Amino acid sequence: MNAGARIGAWRNRLVIGTTGLLVFATIAHMYFVVPSYRRLMQGVGAAFSLPARLAISISHFALLIVGAGIVGVAIALRKERQGATGIFGAAVAFIGLLAAAYLALVSSVYADFARLAARLQ
């Protein structure tokens, strides 16, 4: 194996590991954290900001989104094994990008909760 192939293999493992961590955090937020914050804030009658409403509406379709991500990565892996190069790495990186964007939207839910907590004090 030449040096370029070793660097490429190392980079793919790094991307896969980082994406796995982001996807794990995203799934945890979609299924557990965001719904509990939504119920808590709706219980006190608080209004959500637009990014927080977007994060909440995305979390309603969590199973569909996770399933589509798994199917997309499986298709990319199949194409990679058939001879196309770089598709699997690009698909995994794209999934990681989407997970990071969702986690950025989730931070607006936390900001809304912090504003509510500051008002209640």
The burial class, CB within 10 Å (0-12 / 13-18 / 19+), for 14 is: exposed
Amino acid in the structure at residue 54: L
Would you state the pLDDT for residue 88? 85
Would you state the pLDDT for residue 1? 54
pLDDT exceeds cutoff 60 at 6: no
Give 121's DSSP letter.
-
Would you state the pLDDT for residue 15? 84
Would you state the pLDDT for residue 47? 87
Residue 2 has φ and ψ, to the nearest 5°, of -80, 175
Would you state the pLDDT for residue 90? 87
What does pTM read for this prediction?
0.82
pLDDT tens digits, one per residue of 105-118: 999 999 999 998 89
Q: pLDDT confidence of 7, banded at 50, 70, 90?
A: low
Q: Please compute the mean of the pLDDT values over residues 32-53 and round it to a whole number.
A: 90
Residue 62, token pair as written in the block:
């969590």
